[in-house]
Amino acid sequence: MDCRATSIKAARRPLRRRCQGSTLVEYLFAIGIGGLLLSTVALFAMHHGKTVHALGNMVDMDQANRNAQAQMSVDFRQARHLQSYSTNALTFLDYDGQQLLYLYSPQTRTLVRKKGTQSKVILEGVDSLSFSIRQRNFIAGTFDYYPASSIDTCKLIRVDWTCSREMFGRKANLTSSQSASIAIRKH
């Protein structure tokens, strides 16, 4: 058996290089790359969250507009006749003999339906709303109706409105102009 001493330095040198720790520059570079990746993911998540929130608001406002239009259509068609009119308020004699009032308030940005002692907000976040009274005759070459000269000649109510909401502290989600022309059937 041959027992001779071999060089330990030559065998340990590659092992030491593999076991050495990282340098400060390598750590800073890795933190920088990781920070960029995390900030990119966070920005994407924030943008996605805002988009989903905006779409949810638009769907909710569209549904509220549809519900308000449906309620007005039912009420206007069943009314016996129009009692008074202004650009922001309508008063009807309803089918049951009670007074029915639609009132738009620019201060509270709401459209309110009042019948008897009951009052209900049917549309919120209304930026502008106007009622106009019309006849049932078309203006030649258009799809619009002739304006009514008085309450007695009114056969149709036209309602035009726009709505919006605040999102993250600023006004957003403006809807396109909504309008409805609703005939008074009982008149």
pLDDT above 60: residue 51: yes
19 in a structural domain: no
Amino acid at 171: K
119 in a structural domain: yes
* pLDDT tens digit sequence for 126-180: 999 999 998 887 788 887 887 888 888 888 899 999 988 877 777 766 666 788 8
Strands in the chain per DSSP E: 81-86, 89-93, 99-105, 110-115, 118-124, 126-138, 145-147, 156-163, 165-167, 170-172, 178-183
What's the burial of 52, exposed, middle or buried (CB within 10 Å: 0-12/13-18/19+)?
Answer: exposed
Output 138 or 85, whichever has higher pLDDT: 85
Task: Find the domain containing 139 and state its range.
Answer: 31-183
pLDDT above 80: residue 182: yes
pTM for the model stands at 0.72
Task: Please identify which residue in the block is written with the tokens 């609703």.
Answer: 182
5 in a structural domain: no
Q: What tokens appear for 27 in the block?
A: 């750590």
Q: What is the mean pLDDT of the chain?
A: 85
6 in a structural domain: no
